[in-house]
């Protein structure tokens, strides 16, 4: 496994992040435990979760991770743990303050609830799951400063923010002499390249880490994307236009020509971008996790990268040069 620093921090994380959204929903607890054990064996030290994960039982995923931690063998000490807050929790009793959004009130309560489920006294990275356009940065950063002083959180992060939100946050943090956001978790893959226009250049300018969710485009960039008959992938494939199906067919043919699986190429392409810290992989089995690790070592040739650009053209680079003279 290869490692890198998370943005402007000195904390080193693996170039793959173990995503846990399937724990307790698509896969059972025993399989979840086996995947986490294997992740550590493979050198993956960065785990990502959220307080809402667990299907109708919000928080179940954190509970599964917590029960895995207390099995011993320094499991907790070996993991850089990230979780998130924003969404309303189905089993909460806070009334109007439990609605989706972020605030100091929600941060304090959500964090304590997550720590209890995770059976730990801290998380390394505490992320706002979505942008809240009504939030006050001074309020939020004061709350983050408080939980950091208490040792409950090491770093602050965001997810699904726009480039302008990262800039606003950086300005507010500088005014407070606060480290501010160290990472942004964002949708990015071969079929969704719009972040190249503003988000990724902004993150690089601010020396922020970027964690990529859905690097396989919900399975469209994985094996047999057009032939799978059931499940979410089949539903997503059924909605593709003829032009999109032709893209996937061309992509699969390219992968076959270079002797690599589509999922491996998709992950390697994300890792090739210097703005990216790590993609988040959400395996449903130990075998899928083993296969994903190969992407860290795969170096795509200039010819392959050019062909990928031809199949999945991006926005033309960073703004404003991508669309202005």
CATH superfamily of 3-217+264-298: NADP-dependent oxidoreductase domain (3.20.20.100)
Confirm whether 53 is a catalytic residue: yes
**pLDDT for 174-229, tens place per residue?**
999 999 999 999 999 999 999 999 999 999 999 999 999 999 999 999 998 888 87
Domain coordinates of the chain in residue numbers?
Answer: 3-217+264-298
For the chain, the maximum distance between any two Cα atoms, rounded to a whole number of angstroms, is: 59
pLDDT score for 94: 62
Return d(Cα 33, Cα 217) in angstroms, integer.
25
**pLDDT for 36-47, tens place per residue?**
999 999 999 999
Confidence of residue 75 (pLDDT cuts 50, 70, 90): very high
Query: What contacts 79, CB < 8 A, 6 or more positions away?
Result: 40, 45, 46, 47, 69
Question: Which is catalytic among the residues 53, 126, 155, 188?
Answer: 53
Structure-model confidence comparison of residues 53 and 228, the more confident one: 53
Query: What contacts 322, CB < 8 A, 6 or more positions away?
Result: 196, 197, 315, 316
pLDDT(233) > 80: yes
Q: What pTM does this model have?
A: 0.95
């Amino acid at each position: 496994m290869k490692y890198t620093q998370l943005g402007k921090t000195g904390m080193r994380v693996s170039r793959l992040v173990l995503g846990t959204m399937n724990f307790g929903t698509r896969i059972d607890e025993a399989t979840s435990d086996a995947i986490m054990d294997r992740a550590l064996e493979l050198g993956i030290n960065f785990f990502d979760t959220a307080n809402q994960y667990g299907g109708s039982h919000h928080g179940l995923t954190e509970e599964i991770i917590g029960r895995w931690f207390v099995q011993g063998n320094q499991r907790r000490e070996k993991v850089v743990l990230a979780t998130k807050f924003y969404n309303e929790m189905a089993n909460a009793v806070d009334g109007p303050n439990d609605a989706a959004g972020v605030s100091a009130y929600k941060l304090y309560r959500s964090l304590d609830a997550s720590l209890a489920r995770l059976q730990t006294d801290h998380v390394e990275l505490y992320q706002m799951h979505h942008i809240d356009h009504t939030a006050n940065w001074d309020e939020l950063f004061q709350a983050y400063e408080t939980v950091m002083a208490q040792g409950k959180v090491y770093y602050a992060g965001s997810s699904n923010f726009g480039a302008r939100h990262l800039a606003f946050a950086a300005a507010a943090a500088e005014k407070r002499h606060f480290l501010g956001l160290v990472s942004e978790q964002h949708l990015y893959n071969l079929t969704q390249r719009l972040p190249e226009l503003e988000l990724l250049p902004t993150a690089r300018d601010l020396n922020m880490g970027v964690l990529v969710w859905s690097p396989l485009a919900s399975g469209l960039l994985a094996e047999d994307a057009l032939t799978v008959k059931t499940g979410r992938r089949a539903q997503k494939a059924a909605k593709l236009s003829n032009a999109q199906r032709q893209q996937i067919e061309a992509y699969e043919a390219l992968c076959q020509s270079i002797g690599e699986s589509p999922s491996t190429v998709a992950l390697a392409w994300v890792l090739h971008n210097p703005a990216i810290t790590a993609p988040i992989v959400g395996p449903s089995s130990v075998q899928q996790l083993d296969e994903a690790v190969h992407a860290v070592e795969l170096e795509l040739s200039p010819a392959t990268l050019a062909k990928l650009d031809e199949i999945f053209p991006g926005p033309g680079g960073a703004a404003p040069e991508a669309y202005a003279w």
